[in-house]
Structure 1
Amino acid sequence: MRITNYRSFMIHALFLSLTMSFIDVNTVAPAMLSETGATTFHLGLLTAIMVGFGSFMQLLFATFIMGFKHKKPALLGGIYLRVAALASLGIFLRNLGSPATWKIWLILFLITVFSFSGAWANIAYTDILGSTIEKPQRKKLLTQKQLITSIGLIISSVVVKLVLSYLSYPDSYSLLFLMASLLLLLATSGFWMLKEGEPPQQKKQTLGERLGMFVHAIKEDRNVRLYLLLVNTSGVILSTLPFLVVLANQRYGLDGGRTGTFLLFQLSGSLLATILTNLFSKGQRYRPLIYLFILLGISTPIMALLLIATPLLYPLAFFIGGATAALYHILTVGILLEISNNENRPIYFGIGGAGALMNILYPMLAGLLLPYLGFPLIFILTSCYMLFGIYAAKHLDCGIFS
């Protein structure tokens, strides 16, 4: 069963990687919304939805999914809803017509459906992964999965660059989202092979009792509190990256070719970081990776400010940002898998998602304040704020950090 599930996760990772470049939250999605006529507030809201709110909804979704005897139907249902949202977005963009405010809000609504259904599926995904893949194999799976993902993203980013270079808005983005919906549908083929096994006996609990378990876990487990500190400080780099596109758009404008270049550099950084993590990461020791993640996260906004005056070098900021994002995804899943067990895993992943409140607040505040404070001050303050993650990195304490 474990070998079959290992392959299932790898097949899904391959097709998903070919999908996500087409609606990349850091480049393609903000560029698309910018060309629709969105303001910095709309772009901040887009980032809050895709990065922050999607994760936050995991708390609510976990309270329901943890009561399910089998998680596979919830996993597939969430993915099919994502497919429908992407297909609807592609069809709508093809018939967009002239820009209007109501059209921006409809796009944001469809992206909300896409993001929230992904959060629903992710709870079921991680619960199945944690309960069917043995602990010694988890980090290997996560790094290999990230490696496959990075390679697939590189390939698909070339397609994105070609589509955005040769087709005009909105036809270019319409084609990307329709292609993404098809590939995501194919990604479910891996999960049809998943075998969950017989779930442990669970006593029936009310919704209030389940929510109380979240509060209890935060109060009793110091590692959970330190993890929440990490994702709410250094983790805001995820909601910072889309503003690199906004900065470029304000400084010298955007076109499809430039957006594709940003995406290609971002994914190249992600691939390099994943390969190096796979080669040099020893055992289950995550602490050095956390320090590296924080260092790269702090550097990314500063590099953007230093390089923006040179359009030829500015994509390097996306390269560093891509490496940072790759480390974040490896670390957050890996840490939660290690500090949780089969009984409390949905609770911990719900807490982990809901705990990233700053990935909701930061992009909305940044979107509102940028017209008044400007990028230099916002980015410098962001880098300073991310330094607080060092405390969490130093004090997280369990077997994987010893």
Structure 2
Amino acid sequence: MSTNEKRSMFAFIWHGFFLALTMAMLDLNTVFPTLINTLSTNKFIFGALYSIMLGTPLIFNILFSHYLSSKPFKKKYLLLGMYIRSLSFLGMGLFTYLLSEQYSNIVLYSFFVFVFLFSVSAGFAGLSYSDLVAKTIKDSRRTRLFSMKQFSGSLASLFGGFIIARIFALGIAFPLNYTLSLVIGFIGLIIASAGFYFMHEPPSEAMKQRPSLVAYIRNIPNILRKDSSFRYYIIVENLSSFSVMILPFYIVYAKEVITVDNSFIGVYLIVQISGTIFSNIIWGIIGERFNAKTIVRFCILLGVLNPILAITLGQFGAYPFAVVFFIMGFMISGRRIGFEPTLLDITPHEQRMEYLGIRGTLNIAIIILPLVGALLIETIGYIVAFSTVSVVMMIAFFLLAKVSDKQVEAYCQ
């Protein structure tokens, strides 16, 4: 391994560690849902915020990829995105502390703005990040990188989970408890960016002549028509988003149906992170012996199983229900380790940015599904909604077989 590749590995792992610590402070499956539930019991508000959080980066991906496709260097755009995200954390923390007790509606409205900025910058940074991984880390070492990054990030998340558990166990009053977590997240993102300053970035294989945005968009159907493997990848990723849709509602289910108190927020978060850490060993073995696609296959199977477990274990109380969060940790890490390398494996080098943009923009299910999940739960209840997720995930499992294990040739304009 060359010196430059070692520096890149260090930068990605450093970033992964502190990003994970940051995201534990606003964990989307425990902390964030309970914060919104404290401000409002309306599930559609949370569903809308969750849709913005997950979907906004994808909506703008085709525009971002068109812009970045002609840029030989992407690191500065990654750093810009990270700094905007950190300021979003700080903004949410300040509004929560200053206004939540008397003007909770204003805080909720501000969250739509801050979450939007957080998500837009994530899309900009994410494309740059993927390009940096592809051109600084060899194909054979990418799964290892994602496994190592996920493992170090899981340790950071565990540390963050203990911080969250401690904040709530100490009985720190609202809104100071959530403000502390958000400010820690702000600091963590600033530190996370430091590793990239030591990375040497080679120029990308940028398009010699960037087509107009209209021509760029018109070429999407051509690529999807000719590249069936990529087409099925898009379908599978959309269907697998159903398992992501349901994740934040497990903690709401626990609070409303099992009637757990706030002390379990930290407990479930630690259990979830423990599952993430343990799963890295399993995913690492699978990735070394097989490939990233195999990780995705097992991850989807867990997406079939977990909603059924939630329905079953919910009948036995708060502690058995922790198993749901343990498996959730497996699913979260499996998605992070498996999906991105699988996409990079089937993406032509010269059209990488275009493929990444198409994948992001067409991953539309994750945009609307949180709202769909809220609607399903409000109208037909948790059991039917959870069962529906299991059925859809099973369909995704069978369609994954149509995704190739190797890179295809480029499909030009």
Q: TM-score normalised to the size of structure 2?
A: 0.92
Partner of 2:72: 69
Partner of 1:323: 330
Contact 2:135 2:204 in 1 (8 A): no
Among 241, 250, 256, the residue aligned to 1:250: 256
List per-residue Cα deviations over 1:177-197 (Å, max 9, x = no partner): 101000100111011112212
Contact 1:59 1:354 in 2 (8 A): yes
Matched, 1:260 2:266: yes
Q: How many residues align?
A: 401
Matched, 1:145 2:110: no
Matched, 1:9 2:16: no
Quick one: distance in 1 between partners of 2:312 and 2:60? 36
List per-residue Cα deviations over 1:305-356 (Å, max 9, x = no partner): 1112311211111111111111111111111111113321111222222222
Partner of 1:180: 185
Matched, 1:19 2:22: yes
Among 365, 368, 391, the residue aligned to 2:372: 365
Matched, 1:352 2:332: no
Give secondary structure in 1 for the equivalent of 2:174. coil
Quick one: distance in 2 between partners of 1:319 and 1:99? 36
Q: Return the letter of the residue paired with 2:265.
A: T
Q: Which moved more, 1:303-312 or 1:192-201?
A: 192-201
Cα distance change on mapping 1:287 and 1:398 into 2, 3 Å: closer
Q: Return the letter of the residue paired with 1:359.
A: I
Structure 1 stretches of 4+ moved >6 Å? none
Q: How does 1:65-214 map to 2 (within 5 A)?
A: 65-96=68-99, 97-98=101-102, 100-166=104-170, 167-200=172-205, 202-214=208-220
Q: Return the letter of the residue paired with 1:39.
A: N
List per-residue Cα deviations over 1:239-286 (Å, max 9, x = no partner): 210011121221244544211112111111111111111134335523
Give secondary structure in 1 for the equivalent of 2:200. coil
Give secondary structure in 2 for the equivalent of 1:282. helix
Quick one: distance in 2 between partners of 1:63 and 1:337? 18
Partner of 2:321: 314
Cα distance change on mapping 1:382 and 1:244 into 2, 3 Å: same
Contact 1:55 1:354 in 2 (8 A): yes
Cα distance change on mapping 1:372 and 1:204 into 2, 3 Å: closer
List per-residue Cα deviations over 1:5-63 (Å, max 9, x = no partner): 12111111121121110011111111110011141111211221222333333233212
Among 12, 16, 40, the residue aligned to 2:43: 40
List per-residue Cα deviations over 1:131-160 (Å, max 9, x = no partner): 121111111111111111111111111111
Partner of 2:244: 238
Contact 2:292 2:339 in 1 (8 A): no
Identity %: 25
Contact 1:240 1:363 in 2 (8 A): yes
Unaligned runs of 5+ in 2: 408-413
Cα distance change on mapping 1:307 and 1:8 into 2, 3 Å: same
Q: Return the letter of the residue paired with 1:145.
A: K
